[in-house]
Amino acid sequence: MCLYIHLSINKKKLIGNLPLHLRTTITTDKEYFVRVTLVCDTLPYAFRCPKCGKPHSIKEYIDDHFCRNCGKFLSYRNRVKVKKSNRDEKNIEWPLFPYKPYTQQLEFMRDIKNIVGNQGILIAEACNGFGKTVSALASLLPIDHKIVYVTRTHEQVRQVLLEVERINQNSESTFSAVNLASRQHLCLNEKCRNLSALDASEACRLLKEAKQCQYKTEIGLSSFIPSVLSIEKLRSQGRVRRFCPYFLARRAAENCTLIVAPYQYIFNEKIRSSIKLELSNRILIFDEAHNADQISQDVLSDTLSERSLNIAKKELEKVGVSNIFIDDLEAYLERKVSGNIVTESGFKLHKELKDVLKVNKLTSFTDSLSDVVDKIRNYKVEKEDYPACYLNGILNFLSLVESSPCNSYVAVFKRTFYGFNLVQYRCLDPSLAIKPVIEEAYGSLIMSGTLSPIQFFTEILELEKAQIRTYTAIANPKNVHTIIDTSVTTRFSERTEKMIRRFGERISQLIVKIPNGVLIFFPQRKFMIDSLKVWRRMGIITGAEAYLTLKGKNVFIEGAKADENRRVVEEYKRSTRSQKGAVLCGVFRGRNAEGSNFPYEEARGIFLIGVPYADYSDPVMRAQIRYLNEKKSRMGEKWYIMDAFRAANQAMGRGIRHRDDWCNFILMDKRYQRHQNLISKWVLSNSIQKIPNELS
């Protein structure tokens, strides 16, 4: 098993203080960002607080490096071996499940076995911290079918592989698994690593032909290769054995039990074909699938920009090929782009591009330039430059417009912040990517902590044959406290300063009853900043800019950039364990509302400021609603509502990460009262309380 510890300290100092056998396991992503891979023995471990002595599980340590009891920082030096207890005895029905299962987990595993194991489709909603990953693996690994596990983030990939290792350790099995990652994460050759998936594939071929890559691609697997291969292990094996980690992963994937891959690999047919990933007779698991529809639309969309045209023109000049058609495309964008965002049908874009290029079919044009792409790449390889080809990106855009169903797309013309004209060819139908892969697979499990409203989700993906299940929270229902404040709303027509003041007054009255950490989510960043300014004028928030407080709790504001936000969250988490506690203000659909963990004291209260409906005046949003309405009456309106409540449910999912965790959920908008059926069932497990308009 591997633990990954991220430390923002000087690398030389760290290496000097480490035991000799660990020094070669250090890799550096940036100058002061160090990743240390610590390989644990097969016995289970706990991390004991050096201050109060409280033991913490490995999962608790990975989730958060601070003591749950006193807030002391935990390090690898606090690791102690623990003996297995009787509760680790094997479950007769589920021998691969490495823990003592809860009733809800048993129900989930039986549904998986009976539905997915019999070539069905199961769409399952179970709260965060439920143990969905290990339940899915324990119920599907014994079935005689290979599994493709699809997930979104590297942290989720690590969790899947960690659970496979734990299952192997506890059941004395030898299930194999590999992370089928992109060249960006696996390639050891700098010239390939930063290219797009399709560009990198061609660049790799050219670099090998030019003998500019020292790593072997013809790989024979041996017993020395670990059975569970993470990105770190693949790269380590590559360096030691002079294997290409990318091709090692593909070689291992041919026969391994479990492949872990990103959504883009599954939804993009070209990528699946290039890496030879067959889905037939395999079981598909889609984890964190609440955004699967949006991811699939992104995968099937593309953009043609003035910037890429400019670079492609220079590429053509260097290899002596006419670039007149680039001028024609630039002139076309100049005519179409105005000060505002403009949307037009996919049909119209298709016709106009054929007229601009003076061809009957766009594919005949792209085919005529395929040799030029190779010529450009070879030229760059000879010059020892990065073999990216912007012309290839333009040809891919044109090919997509030609090959896709234009009635399911919209053309979006706009000017970027930096002044470049562009057109986005946006897919409006998520079923175009999802439905074919589901139909090809042996069976499919689609799961997330927040799929509600789950019926709408299933309808939009056109998965009529799927069976739907929602599971109660593993936490005690008494630990889930949900209240609705109907005296406030962020409805646009009522979004006045008076309403913002009322939000502040209500929060200040409620927050004094909540200990430790509190999260507050706003519909948009601008509305958050405006609200905080009003509350400061009112005296609800006090203190200097860097030391703001709300009823004694330190106030932190979500960072606009990833690095800044990481620092803010670390400071917030430390402050939550103080006597006064802390408040973190963020935005729905933002960095802290989706994918982040705030267990125990880090989220004893979560305030939702309004319902996060998307901007209805946005032309792209209107095109999406109109398209779905044309497919089925009122489906567009349903999708618009689903999108808002899915974001709200995601934000609430940051709290209650474990069985003994508890949290207060305060839904501050009268529209939550009307749409209680769209709120995740686990949030309603202890019923909903409506608070009076006037608080004492």
Compute the C-alpha angle 160/161/165, nearest 5°.
Answer: 120
pLDDT for the residue numbered 21 = 34
486 compared with 687, residue with greater pLDDT: 486
Asked, for residue 548, whether it belongs to a domain, the answer is yes
Sign of CA dihedral 197, 199, 200, 201: positive
Q: Are 43 and 129 part of one and the same domain?
A: no
pLDDT for the residue numbered 8 = 40
Q: Are 308 and 289 part of one and the same domain?
A: no
Mean pLDDT (the chain, rounded)? 87
Q: Are 466 and 495 part of one and the same domain?
A: no
**Domain termination residue (choose one: 470, 489, 523):** 470
pLDDT for the residue numbered 33 = 33
Asked, for residue 575, whether it belongs to a domain, the answer is yes
Q: Which helix (H) or strand (E) holds 511?
A: helix 497-511
Q: Are 503 and 364 part of one and the same domain?
A: no
**Domain termination residue (choose one: 62, 87, 112):** 87
Asked, for residue 421, whether it belongs to a domain, the answer is no
Q: How far apart are CA 176 and CA 496, in angstroms?
A: 58
Find out whether 302 and 296 touch, Cβ atoms under 8 Å: no
Token pair for residue 227? 């059975």
* Number of domains forming the structure of the chain: 4
Find out whether 180 and 261 touch, Cβ atoms under 8 Å: yes
Band the pLDDT of 334: cuts 50, 70, 90.
very high
Asked, for residue 491, whether it belongs to a domain, the answer is yes
Q: Are 258 and 338 part of one and the same domain?
A: no
Band the pLDDT of 603: cuts 50, 70, 90.
very high
Find out whether 118 and 236 touch, Cβ atoms under 8 Å: no
Band the pLDDT of 161: cuts 50, 70, 90.
very high
Q: Are 377 and 333 part of one and the same domain?
A: yes
Q: Are 623 and 487 part of one and the same domain?
A: yes
The top-scoring range by mean pLDDT among 171-175, 212-216, 529-533, 546-550 is: 529-533
pLDDT for the residue numbered 311 = 95
pLDDT for the residue numbered 36 = 38
**Domain termination residue (choose one: 87, 111, 145):** 87
295 Rama class: left (phi>0) / alpha (psi -120 to 50) / beta: alpha
554 compared with 88, residue with greater pLDDT: 554
Q: Are 442 and 546 part of one and the same domain?
A: no
Separation in Å, CA 240 to CA 198, 227, 230: 27, 17, 15
pLDDT in tens, 36-66: 333 333 345 778 888 767 787 776 777 677 7
Asked, for residue 408, whether it belongs to a domain, the answer is no
Q: Are 608 and 647 part of one and the same domain?
A: yes
pLDDT for the residue numbered 688 = 86
Asked, for residue 378, whether it belongs to a domain, the answer is yes
Asked, for residue 459, whether it belongs to a domain, the answer is yes
Q: Are 147 and 255 part of one and the same domain?
A: yes
Band the pLDDT of 29: cuts 50, 70, 90.
very low
Q: Are 460 and 484 part of one and the same domain?
A: no
Q: What is the pTM of this model?
A: 0.81
Structural domain that includes position 510: 477-690
pLDDT for the residue numbered 273 = 86
CATH number of the structural domain spanning residue 131: 3.40.50.300
Asked, for residue 350, whether it belongs to a domain, the answer is yes
Q: Are 252 and 350 part of one and the same domain?
A: no
